[in-house]
A and B are shown apart, each in its own frame.
Chain A
Amino acid sequence: MSYTVQFINLLAAILLLISFAMLSQRRILSLINLFAWQGLVLSVSTFVVAYSTAQQHLYFSAALTLLLKVLVLPWLLHRLIRKLNVRWDVETLINIPATMLAGIALVIFAFNLAAPISQLAEGITRGLIGIALASVLLSLLMMLTRRKAVTQVVGFLAMENGLFFAATSATHGMPLVVELGIALDVLVATFIFGIFFFQIRETFDSLDITHMEKLKDD
Chain B
Amino acid sequence: MENTNLALGMLFQLFQSLLVVLLAPLLMGWVSQCRAWLQNRSGPGLLQPYRMLRKLFLKDAVIAFNASPLFRVTPYILFGCMWLAAAIIPIIAVDLPFSPAADVIALVGVFALARVFIALAAMDIGTAFGSLGARREMLVSFLAEPALLMVLFTASLISHSTQLPSIVGALAHREFVLYPSLAFAALAFVIVLLAENARIPVDNPNTHLELTMIHEAMILEYSARHLALIEWAVSLKLFAYISLGIALFIPHGIADVGKWDALPLSIAALLAKLVMAGAGLALLETLLAKVRIFRAPEFLGTAFLLAVLGLLIHILLGA
Contacts and interface: CB of A to CB of B under 8 A. Distances in A.
Interface of A: 1, 3, 6-7, 9-10, 12-14, 16-17, 20, 24, 96-97, 100, 103-104, 107-108, 111, 118, 126-128, 130-131
Contacts, number: 66
B27 interface: no
Contacts of B318: 126-127
Contact of B317 (A9, A24, A96, A107): A9
Given A9-B180, A16-B313, A104 B319 contact: no
B319 A111 contact: no
B178 interface: yes
A1 B301 contact: no
The winner among B181, B309, B315 for most chain A CB atoms within 10 A is: B309
Contact of B177 (A1, A97, A108): A1
Chain B residues touching A, majority SS: helix
Contacts of A118: 316
Contact of B180 (A3, A14, A100, A103): A14
B308 interface: yes
23 contacts: A3-B178, A9-B178, A10-B178, A12-B180, A12-B313, A12-B317, A13-B181, A13-B184, A17-B184, A17-B306, A17-B309, A97-B297, A97-B298, A104-B308, A104-B312, A107-B312, A108-B312, A111-B315, A111-B316, A126-B317, A127-B316, A127-B318, A128-B317
The winner among A13, A14, A17 for most chain B CB atoms within 10 A is: A13
Contacts of A97: 297-298, 301
Contacts of A108: 312
Contacts of B177: 1, 6
B162 to A, nearest CB: 22
B317 A100 contact: no
A164 to B, nearest CB: 19
Chain A to chain B: the 7 pairs with minimum beta-carbon distance, closest first: A13-B180, A6-B178, A127-B317, A127-B316, A9-B319, A10-B180, A9-B317
Chain A residues touching B, majority SS: helix
A4 B312 CA distance: 21
A71 B199 CA distance: 39
B133 to A, nearest CB: 23
Nearest to B313: A13
Contacts of A96: 298, 301
Contact of B309 (A1, A6, A7, A20): A20
A138 to B, nearest CB: 11
Contacts of A111: 312, 315-316
Interface string B296-309: 01100110011011
Contacts of A20: 305, 309
A45 to B, nearest CB: 12
Contacts of B313: 9, 12-13, 16, 131
A202 B305 CA distance: 40
Nearest to A103: B305
A216 B318 CA distance: 47
The winner among A9, A14, A96 for most chain B CB atoms within 10 A is: A9
Nearest to B298: A96
A1 B301 CA distance: 32
B309 A100 contact: no
Contacts of A10: 178, 180, 183, 319
Given A9-B180, A126-B317, A100 B312 contact: no
B182 to A, nearest CB: 10
A100 B184 contact: no
Given A20-B309, A108-B312, 7 more contacts: A9-B313, A9-B317, A10-B180, A13-B181, A14-B180, A16-B309, A104-B312
B12 to A, nearest CB: 36
A7 B178 contact: yes
A13 B309 contact: yes
B316 A130 contact: yes
A81 to B, nearest CB: 25
B319 A6 contact: yes
A26 to B, nearest CB: 11
B62 to A, nearest CB: 42
A7 B309 CA distance: 17
A100 B316 contact: no
A130 B297 CA distance: 29
A107 B317 CA distance: 13
Contacts of B308: 104
B178 A100 contact: no
Contacts of B305: 20, 100, 103-104
A121 to B, nearest CB: 12
A131 B316 CA distance: 9
Nearest to B301: A97
A100 B180 CA distance: 20
A13 B178 CA distance: 11
